[in-house]
Structure 1
Amino acid sequence: MWGAFIFGIVAFVSALTGFAVTTHAAEVKIISGPATDAVLASLRPEFERTTGNTFESKGGVTGVLKTLIERGEPFDLAIIPGPLMDSFVKQGKIAAGTSVPLVRVGMGVAVRAGAAKPDISSVAKFKQAILDAKSVTYVPKGETATRLAGVLERLGIAEQVKAKAQLLPTVPAAIQAVASGKAELYFSLTNIIASAKGIELAGPFPPELQHYLVINTGISSTAKQPDAAKALVKLLTSSNADAVIRAKGLERATR
Protein backbone atom coordinates (compact mmCIF):
# COMPACT_ATOMS: atom_id res chain seq x y z
CA MET A 1 0.00 0.00 0.00
CA TRP A 2 2.76 2.45 1.00
CA GLY A 3 4.70 1.67 -2.16
CA ALA A 4 1.71 2.59 -4.32
CA PHE A 5 1.19 5.78 -2.30
CA ILE A 6 4.82 6.91 -2.72
CA PHE A 7 4.74 6.08 -6.43
CA GLY A 8 1.60 8.22 -6.76
CA ILE A 9 3.27 11.18 -5.05
CA VAL A 10 6.33 10.92 -7.32
CA ALA A 11 4.13 10.75 -10.41
CA PHE A 12 2.09 13.75 -9.25
CA VAL A 13 5.20 15.92 -8.61
CA SER A 14 6.68 14.90 -11.97
CA ALA A 15 3.49 15.88 -13.78
CA LEU A 16 3.23 19.15 -11.86
CA THR A 17 6.82 20.32 -12.46
CA GLY A 18 7.49 18.80 -15.85
CA PHE A 19 10.75 17.29 -14.59
CA ALA A 20 11.41 13.68 -13.70
CA VAL A 21 11.64 12.97 -9.97
CA THR A 22 13.55 9.86 -9.01
CA THR A 23 13.28 7.82 -5.81
CA HIS A 24 17.05 7.15 -5.87
CA ALA A 25 19.16 10.30 -5.80
CA ALA A 26 21.86 10.60 -8.46
CA GLU A 27 24.82 12.98 -8.56
CA VAL A 28 25.50 14.46 -11.98
CA LYS A 29 29.20 15.07 -12.55
CA ILE A 30 29.65 18.22 -14.64
CA ILE A 31 32.67 19.67 -16.44
CA SER A 32 32.00 23.36 -17.01
CA GLY A 33 33.67 26.75 -17.22
CA PRO A 34 33.28 29.88 -15.06
CA ALA A 35 30.84 31.48 -17.52
CA THR A 36 27.99 29.28 -16.31
CA ASP A 37 28.98 28.81 -12.65
CA ALA A 38 26.51 31.41 -11.38
CA VAL A 39 23.64 29.96 -13.43
CA LEU A 40 24.27 26.46 -12.11
CA ALA A 41 24.47 27.72 -8.53
CA SER A 42 21.17 29.58 -8.86
CA LEU A 43 19.35 26.62 -10.42
CA ARG A 44 20.72 24.00 -8.04
CA PRO A 45 17.84 24.28 -5.51
CA GLU A 46 15.20 23.85 -8.22
CA PHE A 47 17.02 20.90 -9.76
CA GLU A 48 17.35 19.17 -6.40
CA ARG A 49 13.74 19.91 -5.45
CA THR A 50 12.17 18.80 -8.72
CA THR A 51 14.33 15.75 -9.45
CA GLY A 52 15.68 14.57 -6.11
CA ASN A 53 19.14 14.60 -7.69
CA THR A 54 22.15 16.86 -7.22
CA PHE A 55 25.30 17.74 -9.15
CA GLU A 56 28.99 18.42 -8.72
CA SER A 57 30.88 20.75 -11.05
CA LYS A 58 34.58 20.74 -11.91
CA GLY A 59 36.41 22.87 -14.45
CA GLY A 60 38.03 26.17 -15.25
CA VAL A 61 38.95 28.16 -18.35
CA THR A 62 38.85 26.55 -21.79
CA GLY A 63 42.34 25.07 -21.62
CA VAL A 64 41.51 23.37 -18.33
CA LEU A 65 38.22 21.98 -19.68
CA LYS A 66 40.05 20.54 -22.68
CA THR A 67 42.68 18.89 -20.47
CA LEU A 68 40.13 17.40 -18.08
CA ILE A 69 38.16 15.69 -20.85
CA GLU A 70 41.23 14.59 -22.79
CA ARG A 71 42.79 12.93 -19.76
CA GLY A 72 39.62 10.94 -19.09
CA GLU A 73 38.08 12.79 -16.14
CA PRO A 74 34.73 11.04 -15.46
CA PHE A 75 31.70 13.23 -16.19
CA ASP A 76 28.06 12.97 -17.13
CA LEU A 77 27.48 16.43 -18.56
CA ALA A 78 29.79 18.93 -20.26
CA ILE A 79 28.93 22.63 -20.44
CA ILE A 80 31.72 23.97 -22.62
CA PRO A 81 32.41 26.27 -25.60
CA GLY A 82 30.75 25.15 -28.83
CA PRO A 83 33.94 24.57 -30.88
CA LEU A 84 35.41 22.45 -28.08
CA MET A 85 32.15 20.52 -27.83
CA ASP A 86 32.19 19.85 -31.59
CA SER A 87 35.72 18.47 -31.29
CA PHE A 88 34.74 16.04 -28.53
CA VAL A 89 31.63 14.93 -30.41
CA LYS A 90 33.90 13.98 -33.33
CA GLN A 91 36.21 12.13 -30.94
CA GLY A 92 33.28 10.19 -29.50
CA LYS A 93 33.69 11.62 -26.00
CA ILE A 94 30.32 13.40 -26.23
CA ALA A 95 27.30 11.33 -27.27
CA ALA A 96 26.16 12.13 -30.80
CA GLY A 97 23.01 14.20 -30.99
CA THR A 98 23.26 15.57 -27.42
CA SER A 99 25.17 18.82 -28.10
CA VAL A 100 22.79 21.74 -27.59
CA PRO A 101 23.62 25.51 -27.70
CA LEU A 102 22.76 26.94 -24.29
CA VAL A 103 23.98 30.53 -23.82
CA ARG A 104 26.29 33.11 -25.33
CA VAL A 105 28.33 35.90 -23.77
CA GLY A 106 30.59 38.65 -25.08
CA MET A 107 33.95 40.00 -23.97
CA GLY A 108 34.48 43.04 -21.78
CA VAL A 109 36.98 45.11 -19.84
CA ALA A 110 37.02 45.47 -16.06
CA VAL A 111 38.52 48.03 -13.67
CA ARG A 112 38.85 48.15 -9.89
CA ALA A 113 35.54 48.94 -8.18
CA GLY A 114 35.22 52.70 -7.80
CA ALA A 115 37.99 53.50 -10.28
CA ALA A 116 37.44 55.76 -13.28
CA LYS A 117 36.16 53.78 -16.26
CA PRO A 118 37.91 54.38 -19.58
CA ASP A 119 35.81 55.12 -22.64
CA ILE A 120 36.02 52.01 -24.83
CA SER A 121 32.90 52.66 -26.90
CA SER A 122 34.71 52.83 -30.25
CA VAL A 123 37.63 50.95 -31.76
CA ALA A 124 39.88 54.02 -31.55
CA LYS A 125 38.96 54.74 -27.92
CA PHE A 126 39.31 51.06 -26.99
CA LYS A 127 42.82 51.00 -28.46
CA GLN A 128 43.84 54.20 -26.70
CA ALA A 129 42.49 53.03 -23.34
CA ILE A 130 44.61 49.88 -23.57
CA LEU A 131 47.70 51.85 -24.55
CA ASP A 132 47.13 54.29 -21.66
CA ALA A 133 46.77 51.53 -19.06
CA LYS A 134 49.87 50.89 -16.97
CA SER A 135 49.11 47.19 -16.65
CA VAL A 136 46.58 44.62 -17.87
CA THR A 137 45.72 41.06 -16.93
CA TYR A 138 43.90 38.02 -18.29
CA VAL A 139 44.07 34.23 -18.07
CA PRO A 140 46.30 32.98 -20.92
CA LYS A 141 44.54 29.63 -21.35
CA GLY A 142 41.03 31.08 -21.41
CA GLU A 143 38.70 31.63 -24.34
CA THR A 144 39.09 35.39 -23.92
CA ALA A 145 42.86 35.16 -24.38
CA THR A 146 42.48 33.40 -27.71
CA ARG A 147 40.15 36.06 -29.07
CA LEU A 148 42.07 38.91 -27.42
CA ALA A 149 45.24 37.90 -29.25
CA GLY A 150 43.50 38.42 -32.58
CA VAL A 151 42.07 41.76 -31.48
CA LEU A 152 45.45 43.08 -30.35
CA GLU A 153 47.11 41.96 -33.58
CA ARG A 154 44.37 43.65 -35.57
CA LEU A 155 44.92 46.88 -33.64
CA GLY A 156 48.70 46.63 -34.01
CA ILE A 157 49.39 46.79 -30.27
CA ALA A 158 50.17 43.16 -29.41
CA GLU A 159 53.78 43.87 -28.42
CA GLN A 160 52.89 46.91 -26.28
CA VAL A 161 50.31 44.89 -24.37
CA LYS A 162 52.64 41.91 -23.97
CA ALA A 163 55.18 44.15 -22.26
CA LYS A 164 52.74 45.17 -19.50
CA ALA A 165 50.54 42.10 -19.23
CA GLN A 166 50.30 40.11 -16.00
CA LEU A 167 49.29 36.62 -17.09
CA LEU A 168 47.59 34.82 -14.20
CA PRO A 169 46.59 31.14 -14.03
CA THR A 170 43.00 31.47 -12.81
CA VAL A 171 40.02 33.80 -13.08
CA PRO A 172 39.96 34.50 -9.28
CA ALA A 173 43.65 35.44 -9.38
CA ALA A 174 43.08 37.89 -12.24
CA ILE A 175 40.06 39.41 -10.50
CA GLN A 176 42.05 39.84 -7.28
CA ALA A 177 44.90 41.52 -9.17
CA VAL A 178 42.53 44.23 -10.43
CA ALA A 179 40.56 44.51 -7.18
CA SER A 180 43.80 45.07 -5.25
CA GLY A 181 45.15 47.59 -7.74
CA LYS A 182 48.03 45.41 -8.97
CA ALA A 183 46.58 45.46 -12.50
CA GLU A 184 44.61 48.27 -14.09
CA LEU A 185 42.51 46.46 -16.70
CA TYR A 186 41.15 42.92 -16.89
CA PHE A 187 39.90 41.27 -20.08
CA SER A 188 37.23 38.62 -19.57
CA LEU A 189 33.68 37.58 -20.35
CA THR A 190 31.19 40.25 -19.34
CA ASN A 191 29.15 37.98 -17.08
CA ILE A 192 32.23 36.94 -15.10
CA ILE A 193 33.12 40.59 -14.57
CA ALA A 194 29.56 41.52 -13.62
CA SER A 195 29.33 38.82 -10.93
CA ALA A 196 32.78 39.38 -9.39
CA LYS A 197 33.47 41.36 -6.22
CA GLY A 198 35.98 44.18 -6.16
CA ILE A 199 35.84 44.96 -9.89
CA GLU A 200 33.39 46.65 -12.24
CA LEU A 201 32.59 46.39 -15.92
CA ALA A 202 34.06 49.33 -17.83
CA GLY A 203 32.16 48.15 -20.88
CA PRO A 204 31.95 45.47 -23.56
CA PHE A 205 34.35 45.32 -26.49
CA PRO A 206 33.23 47.60 -29.35
CA PRO A 207 30.87 45.84 -31.78
CA GLU A 208 33.55 45.70 -34.50
CA LEU A 209 35.84 43.77 -32.14
CA GLN A 210 33.28 41.79 -30.20
CA HIS A 211 33.20 38.03 -30.19
CA TYR A 212 30.45 35.99 -28.60
CA LEU A 213 31.36 32.78 -26.88
CA VAL A 214 28.61 30.20 -27.40
CA ILE A 215 28.43 27.52 -24.71
CA ASN A 216 26.86 24.12 -25.37
CA THR A 217 25.68 21.28 -23.20
CA GLY A 218 26.46 17.70 -24.12
CA ILE A 219 26.11 14.28 -22.48
CA SER A 220 29.21 12.15 -22.02
CA SER A 221 29.30 9.02 -24.16
CA THR A 222 30.30 7.14 -20.98
CA ALA A 223 27.92 8.91 -18.58
CA LYS A 224 26.99 6.94 -15.48
CA GLN A 225 23.97 9.15 -14.85
CA PRO A 226 22.67 10.00 -18.35
CA ASP A 227 19.02 10.35 -17.32
CA ALA A 228 19.82 12.72 -14.47
CA ALA A 229 22.12 14.70 -16.79
CA LYS A 230 19.31 14.98 -19.35
CA ALA A 231 16.98 16.23 -16.62
CA LEU A 232 19.48 18.98 -15.78
CA VAL A 233 19.76 19.95 -19.46
CA LYS A 234 15.97 20.08 -19.61
CA LEU A 235 15.95 22.56 -16.73
CA LEU A 236 18.80 24.65 -18.17
CA THR A 237 17.04 24.94 -21.53
CA SER A 238 13.54 25.52 -20.11
CA SER A 239 11.78 28.85 -19.67
CA ASN A 240 12.28 28.39 -15.90
CA ALA A 241 15.96 29.24 -16.43
CA ASP A 242 15.48 32.29 -18.68
CA ALA A 243 15.32 34.90 -15.90
CA VAL A 244 18.37 33.43 -14.16
CA ILE A 245 20.37 33.43 -17.39
CA ARG A 246 19.54 37.09 -18.06
CA ALA A 247 20.29 38.06 -14.46
CA LYS A 248 23.74 36.52 -14.71
CA GLY A 249 24.65 38.57 -17.78
CA LEU A 250 24.17 35.85 -20.39
CA GLU A 251 21.95 35.53 -23.45
CA ARG A 252 20.17 32.52 -24.86
CA ALA A 253 22.09 30.93 -27.73
CA THR A 254 20.24 29.61 -30.75
CA ARG A 255 21.06 26.72 -33.03
Structure 2
Amino acid sequence: MAACGGRGRPATRASSACGLPAWGSRCPDLAVKVGYKGQGDVMKTWSMAVVGLVGMLSLLAQGQVQTAQITVLAGMGVVSGVRDLAFGFEQMTGNKVIVRFEQTPDLNQKINSGAPADIAALQPQQVDVFIKDGKMVAGTRTNFAQAGVGVAVKTGARRPDISTVEAFKAAMLNAKSIGYSRGGSGIISANVMEKLGIADQLKARTKFIDGIPVAEVVAKGEVEIGLQQINVIIPVKGADYVGPLPTGLQETVKFAAAVLTVSKQPEVARAFLRFIASAKAAPLIRKSAMEPWH
Protein backbone atom coordinates (compact mmCIF):
# COMPACT_ATOMS: atom_id res chain seq x y z
CA MET A 1 0.00 0.00 0.00
CA ALA A 2 1.37 3.37 -0.92
CA ALA A 3 1.03 6.50 1.16
CA CYS A 4 0.37 9.88 -0.45
CA GLY A 5 3.39 10.81 -2.44
CA GLY A 6 5.08 7.44 -1.72
CA ARG A 7 6.76 5.02 -4.15
CA GLY A 8 5.32 1.74 -2.81
CA ARG A 9 4.03 -1.10 -4.98
CA PRO A 10 0.53 -0.32 -6.35
CA ALA A 11 -2.44 -2.55 -5.59
CA THR A 12 -5.47 -3.12 -7.75
CA ARG A 13 -7.90 -2.38 -4.85
CA ALA A 14 -6.05 -0.58 -2.14
CA SER A 15 -6.95 1.96 0.53
CA SER A 16 -5.08 5.21 0.55
CA ALA A 17 -3.49 6.82 3.56
CA CYS A 18 -6.56 9.09 3.50
CA GLY A 19 -8.72 6.08 4.35
CA LEU A 20 -10.56 6.16 1.00
CA PRO A 21 -10.72 3.41 -1.65
CA ALA A 22 -8.07 3.94 -4.26
CA TRP A 23 -10.51 4.93 -7.00
CA GLY A 24 -11.97 7.63 -4.78
CA SER A 25 -8.67 8.72 -3.26
CA ARG A 26 -7.62 12.30 -3.15
CA CYS A 27 -3.98 11.11 -3.17
CA PRO A 28 -3.01 11.65 -6.82
CA ASP A 29 0.03 9.34 -6.91
CA LEU A 30 -1.92 6.36 -5.64
CA ALA A 31 -4.89 7.03 -7.89
CA VAL A 32 -2.62 7.12 -10.93
CA LYS A 33 -0.90 3.85 -10.01
CA VAL A 34 -4.15 2.03 -9.40
CA GLY A 35 -5.52 3.37 -12.66
CA TYR A 36 -2.44 1.99 -14.44
CA LYS A 37 -2.73 -1.56 -13.10
CA GLY A 38 -6.46 -2.00 -12.09
CA GLN A 39 -8.40 0.19 -14.48
CA GLY A 40 -10.61 -2.69 -15.65
CA ASP A 41 -11.73 -3.53 -12.10
CA VAL A 42 -12.42 0.11 -11.34
CA MET A 43 -14.56 0.60 -14.43
CA LYS A 44 -16.46 -2.64 -13.72
CA THR A 45 -17.23 -1.49 -10.17
CA TRP A 46 -18.44 1.92 -11.32
CA SER A 47 -20.63 0.33 -13.99
CA MET A 48 -22.28 -1.94 -11.41
CA ALA A 49 -22.89 1.03 -9.09
CA VAL A 50 -24.47 3.07 -11.88
CA VAL A 51 -26.73 0.17 -12.87
CA GLY A 52 -27.82 -0.25 -9.23
CA LEU A 53 -28.56 3.46 -8.84
CA VAL A 54 -30.57 3.58 -12.05
CA GLY A 55 -32.55 0.55 -10.90
CA MET A 56 -33.37 2.17 -7.56
CA LEU A 57 -34.44 5.41 -9.21
CA SER A 58 -36.64 3.42 -11.56
CA LEU A 59 -38.35 1.67 -8.64
CA LEU A 60 -38.93 4.98 -6.91
CA ALA A 61 -40.37 6.48 -10.08
CA GLN A 62 -42.76 3.55 -10.41
CA GLY A 63 -43.84 3.88 -6.77
CA GLN A 64 -42.57 0.36 -5.95
CA VAL A 65 -40.47 1.55 -3.02
CA GLN A 66 -43.06 2.75 -0.54
CA THR A 67 -43.15 3.85 3.04
CA ALA A 68 -45.79 2.53 5.43
CA GLN A 69 -49.24 4.03 5.83
CA ILE A 70 -51.41 3.97 8.95
CA THR A 71 -54.93 5.20 9.68
CA VAL A 72 -55.92 6.91 12.93
CA LEU A 73 -59.56 7.26 13.99
CA ALA A 74 -60.31 10.30 16.17
CA GLY A 75 -63.36 12.06 17.56
CA MET A 76 -64.20 15.76 17.54
CA GLY A 77 -62.51 16.54 20.84
CA VAL A 78 -59.04 15.46 19.75
CA VAL A 79 -58.96 15.36 15.95
CA SER A 80 -57.26 18.77 15.59
CA GLY A 81 -54.38 17.68 17.80
CA VAL A 82 -54.06 14.31 16.08
CA ARG A 83 -53.79 16.00 12.68
CA ASP A 84 -50.92 18.19 13.87
CA LEU A 85 -49.22 15.15 15.41
CA ALA A 86 -49.71 13.14 12.22
CA PHE A 87 -47.99 15.86 10.19
CA GLY A 88 -45.04 15.89 12.59
CA PHE A 89 -44.69 12.10 12.44
CA GLU A 90 -44.81 12.15 8.65
CA GLN A 91 -42.08 14.77 8.50
CA MET A 92 -39.90 12.81 10.91
CA THR A 93 -40.33 9.30 9.48
CA GLY A 94 -41.61 9.59 5.93
CA ASN A 95 -44.54 7.33 6.80
CA LYS A 96 -48.05 8.40 5.83
CA VAL A 97 -50.73 8.98 8.48
CA ILE A 98 -54.38 9.26 7.46
CA VAL A 99 -56.55 10.85 10.16
CA ARG A 100 -60.25 10.08 9.96
CA PHE A 101 -62.71 12.18 11.96
CA GLU A 102 -65.61 10.18 13.31
CA GLN A 103 -68.59 11.05 15.47
CA THR A 104 -68.43 9.04 18.70
CA PRO A 105 -71.22 6.56 17.78
CA ASP A 106 -69.65 5.94 14.36
CA LEU A 107 -66.17 5.65 15.85
CA ASN A 108 -67.37 3.08 18.37
CA GLN A 109 -69.17 1.15 15.65
CA LYS A 110 -66.08 1.02 13.44
CA ILE A 111 -63.90 -0.23 16.27
CA ASN A 112 -66.42 -2.89 17.29
CA SER A 113 -66.91 -4.08 13.71
CA GLY A 114 -63.18 -4.31 12.99
CA ALA A 115 -63.16 -1.67 10.26
CA PRO A 116 -59.69 -1.19 8.70
CA ALA A 117 -57.59 1.17 10.84
CA ASP A 118 -54.48 1.06 12.98
CA ILE A 119 -55.05 3.40 15.93
CA ALA A 120 -57.97 5.07 17.66
CA ALA A 121 -57.76 8.15 19.90
CA LEU A 122 -60.45 8.37 22.56
CA GLN A 123 -61.03 9.26 26.17
CA PRO A 124 -58.99 6.89 28.36
CA GLN A 125 -61.95 5.12 29.92
CA GLN A 126 -63.19 4.24 26.43
CA VAL A 127 -59.77 2.90 25.46
CA ASP A 128 -59.76 0.67 28.54
CA VAL A 129 -63.14 -0.81 27.58
CA PHE A 130 -61.98 -1.60 24.04
CA ILE A 131 -58.80 -3.22 25.39
CA LYS A 132 -60.89 -5.36 27.73
CA ASP A 133 -63.13 -6.35 24.81
CA GLY A 134 -60.14 -7.34 22.69
CA LYS A 135 -60.59 -4.56 20.14
CA MET A 136 -57.39 -2.76 21.13
CA VAL A 137 -54.00 -4.23 21.96
CA ALA A 138 -53.25 -4.54 25.67
CA GLY A 139 -50.21 -2.59 26.78
CA THR A 140 -50.45 0.00 24.00
CA ARG A 141 -52.66 2.59 25.71
CA THR A 142 -50.79 5.89 25.45
CA ASN A 143 -51.95 9.03 27.27
CA PHE A 144 -51.01 12.07 25.23
CA ALA A 145 -53.31 15.13 25.39
CA GLN A 146 -55.84 17.05 27.45
CA ALA A 147 -58.00 20.12 26.88
CA GLY A 148 -59.77 22.52 29.19
CA VAL A 149 -63.34 23.76 28.82
CA GLY A 150 -63.99 27.30 27.62
CA VAL A 151 -66.80 29.74 26.87
CA ALA A 152 -67.89 30.98 23.44
CA VAL A 153 -70.20 33.77 22.26
CA LYS A 154 -71.20 34.93 18.81
CA THR A 155 -68.68 37.22 17.13
CA GLY A 156 -69.46 40.82 18.04
CA ALA A 157 -71.64 39.92 21.03
CA ARG A 158 -70.91 41.22 24.52
CA ARG A 159 -68.36 39.06 26.26
CA PRO A 160 -69.48 38.05 29.75
CA ASP A 161 -67.17 38.33 32.74
CA ILE A 162 -66.11 34.79 33.66
CA SER A 163 -62.91 35.68 35.50
CA THR A 164 -64.04 34.33 38.89
CA VAL A 165 -66.40 31.63 40.09
CA GLU A 166 -68.99 34.21 41.17
CA ALA A 167 -68.69 36.15 37.92
CA PHE A 168 -69.09 32.94 35.91
CA LYS A 169 -72.15 31.94 37.95
CA ALA A 170 -73.75 35.33 37.33
CA ALA A 171 -73.00 35.11 33.60
CA MET A 172 -74.71 31.72 33.38
CA LEU A 173 -77.77 32.93 35.29
CA ASN A 174 -78.04 36.00 33.06
CA ALA A 175 -77.72 34.06 29.81
CA LYS A 176 -80.86 33.62 27.71
CA SER A 177 -79.63 30.22 26.52
CA ILE A 178 -76.64 27.93 27.08
CA GLY A 179 -75.36 25.09 24.93
CA TYR A 180 -72.97 22.22 25.54
CA SER A 181 -72.26 18.81 24.11
CA ARG A 182 -73.09 15.36 25.43
CA GLY A 183 -69.41 14.41 25.32
CA GLY A 184 -66.62 14.91 27.84
CA SER A 185 -66.81 18.70 27.94
CA GLY A 186 -70.60 18.53 28.29
CA ILE A 187 -70.30 16.24 31.30
CA ILE A 188 -67.87 18.69 32.90
CA SER A 189 -70.19 21.62 32.12
CA ALA A 190 -73.19 19.86 33.64
CA ASN A 191 -71.17 19.01 36.75
CA VAL A 192 -70.10 22.65 37.06
CA MET A 193 -73.73 23.80 37.06
CA GLU A 194 -74.55 21.23 39.72
CA LYS A 195 -71.57 22.36 41.78
CA LEU A 196 -72.75 25.98 41.56
CA GLY A 197 -76.28 24.94 42.54
CA ILE A 198 -77.87 26.44 39.41
CA ALA A 199 -78.57 23.35 37.29
CA ASP A 200 -82.32 23.42 37.94
CA GLN A 201 -82.54 27.14 37.18
CA LEU A 202 -80.78 26.64 33.85
CA LYS A 203 -82.50 23.44 32.79
CA ALA A 204 -85.10 25.09 30.55
CA ARG A 205 -82.44 27.29 28.93
CA THR A 206 -79.89 24.55 28.30
CA LYS A 207 -79.52 22.96 24.86
CA PHE A 208 -77.48 19.81 24.22
CA ILE A 209 -75.61 19.81 20.92
CA ASP A 210 -74.78 16.61 19.04
CA GLY A 211 -72.62 16.03 16.00
CA ILE A 212 -71.21 19.54 15.50
CA PRO A 213 -69.13 21.95 17.59
CA VAL A 214 -71.20 23.89 20.10
CA ALA A 215 -69.55 27.08 18.83
CA GLU A 216 -71.17 26.56 15.42
CA VAL A 217 -74.59 26.76 17.06
CA VAL A 218 -73.42 29.87 18.92
CA ALA A 219 -72.22 31.40 15.64
CA LYS A 220 -75.70 30.90 14.16
CA GLY A 221 -77.25 32.70 17.13
CA GLU A 222 -79.18 29.63 18.25
CA VAL A 223 -77.70 29.79 21.75
CA GLU A 224 -76.18 32.80 23.50
CA ILE A 225 -73.36 31.08 25.36
CA GLY A 226 -71.60 27.84 24.50
CA LEU A 227 -69.35 25.69 26.65
CA GLN A 228 -66.97 23.20 25.07
CA GLN A 229 -63.33 22.22 24.84
CA ILE A 230 -61.16 25.22 24.07
CA ASN A 231 -59.48 23.51 21.11
CA VAL A 232 -62.89 22.84 19.53
CA ILE A 233 -64.13 26.43 20.02
CA ILE A 234 -61.16 28.34 18.62
CA PRO A 235 -61.30 27.20 14.94
CA VAL A 236 -65.01 28.01 14.52
CA LYS A 237 -65.68 31.09 12.41
CA GLY A 238 -68.43 33.36 13.64
CA ALA A 239 -67.82 32.56 17.29
CA ASP A 240 -65.45 34.22 19.75
CA TYR A 241 -63.55 32.39 22.45
CA VAL A 242 -64.15 34.31 25.70
CA GLY A 243 -61.84 32.34 27.96
CA PRO A 244 -61.50 29.21 30.09
CA LEU A 245 -63.63 28.22 33.04
CA PRO A 246 -62.32 30.03 36.14
CA THR A 247 -59.93 28.42 38.59
CA GLY A 248 -61.89 26.22 40.93
CA LEU A 249 -64.27 25.05 38.22
CA GLN A 250 -61.92 24.02 35.43
CA GLU A 251 -61.42 20.37 34.57
CA THR A 252 -59.75 18.87 31.53
CA VAL A 253 -60.95 16.30 29.04
CA LYS A 254 -58.19 13.74 28.63
CA PHE A 255 -57.29 11.61 25.64
CA ALA A 256 -55.40 8.39 25.04
CA ALA A 257 -54.72 6.24 21.99
CA ALA A 258 -54.00 2.56 21.41
CA VAL A 259 -53.24 0.15 18.59
CA LEU A 260 -56.27 -1.62 17.14
CA THR A 261 -56.07 -5.41 16.98
CA VAL A 262 -56.94 -5.29 13.26
CA SER A 263 -53.91 -3.10 12.46
CA LYS A 264 -51.91 -4.17 9.41
CA GLN A 265 -48.98 -1.98 10.47
CA PRO A 266 -48.69 -2.56 14.24
CA GLU A 267 -45.01 -1.63 14.47
CA VAL A 268 -45.51 1.69 12.69
CA ALA A 269 -48.59 2.28 14.85
CA ARG A 270 -46.53 1.69 17.99
CA ALA A 271 -43.90 4.10 16.70
CA PHE A 272 -46.60 6.74 16.23
CA LEU A 273 -47.77 6.23 19.83
CA ARG A 274 -44.21 6.61 21.10
CA PHE A 275 -43.93 9.84 19.13
CA ILE A 276 -47.14 11.44 20.43
CA ALA A 277 -46.01 10.81 24.00
CA SER A 278 -42.53 12.25 23.41
CA ALA A 279 -41.15 15.70 24.19
CA LYS A 280 -40.98 16.41 20.44
CA ALA A 281 -44.77 16.14 20.24
CA ALA A 282 -45.51 18.72 22.95
CA PRO A 283 -45.32 21.82 20.69
CA LEU A 284 -47.63 20.16 18.16
CA ILE A 285 -50.18 19.36 20.86
CA ARG A 286 -50.07 22.93 22.14
CA LYS A 287 -50.47 24.25 18.60
CA SER A 288 -54.10 23.13 18.66
CA ALA A 289 -54.80 24.66 22.11
CA MET A 290 -54.34 21.39 23.97
CA GLU A 291 -51.76 20.34 26.55
CA PRO A 292 -49.66 17.18 26.84
CA TRP A 293 -50.91 14.56 29.27
CA HIS A 294 -48.95 11.49 30.31
TM-score by length of 1: 0.81
1:200 and 2:236 are equivalent in the alignment: no
Instruction: Assess, with a 3 A threshold, how the Cα gap between structure 1 residues 96 and 176 changes in structure 2: closer, same or farther.
Output: same
The residue that corresponds to 1:185 in the other structure is 225
In structure 2, stretches of 5+ residues that fail to align are: 1-50
| The structure with more radius of gyration | 2
Following superposition, the deviation at residue 69 of structure 1 comes to: 2.7
* Range that drifts further, 163-172 or 79-88: 163-172
Cα root mean square deviation, aligned: 2.7
Residue of structure 1 equivalent to 2:97: 54
Q: Which amino acid aligns with 1:124?
A: E
Percent identical: 32
- Give the drift of 1:183: 1.1
Shift in CA distance, 111/45, structure 1 to aligned 2, threshold 3 Å: same
Residues 84 and 288 in structure 2, CA contact (< 8 A), matched pair in contact too: no
Residue number among 14, 19, 24 corresponding to 2:66 in the alignment: 24
Among candidates 69, 72, 76, match of residue 111 of structure 2? 69
CA 122–70 in structure 1, closer or farther in 2 if over 3 Å, else same: farther
| Aligned residue identity for 2:201 | Q
How far, CA to CA, are the matches of 1:106 and 1:211 in structure 2? 6
User: Quick one: which of 263, 275, 286 aligns to 1:235?
Assistant: 275
Aligned pair in 2 of structure 1 residues 160, 68: CA closer, same or farther (>3 Å)? farther
AA aligned to 2:145 is: V
Q: Which residue of 1 aligns with 2:29?
A: none
Secondary structure of 2:131 counterpart: helix
1:58-84 Cα offsets, whole Å, 9 max, x none, are 3235x5544443454443101111111
The amino acid across from 2:165 in the alignment is V
Residue number in structure 2 paired with 1:113 = 155
Which has the bigger relative contact order, CA under 8 A and spacing at least 6?
1
Whole-Å separation in 1 of the counterparts to 2:203 and 2:251:
21
How many residues in Structure 1 have an aligned counterpart in Structure 2?
A: 238
Q: Secondary structure at 2:234's aligned position in 1?
A: helix
CA deviations over 1:10-57 (Å, ceiling 9, x no partner): 9xxxxxxxxxxx943444222212233223333444444532423141
- Flag structure 1 segments of 5+ consecutive residues without an equivalent: 11-21
Q: Is the 8 A contact 1:194 1:201 kept in 2?
A: yes
TM-score (norm 2): 0.71
Matched residue, 1:15: none
AA in 2 matched with 1:96: A
Aligned equivalent of 1:175, options 180, 198, 215 = 215
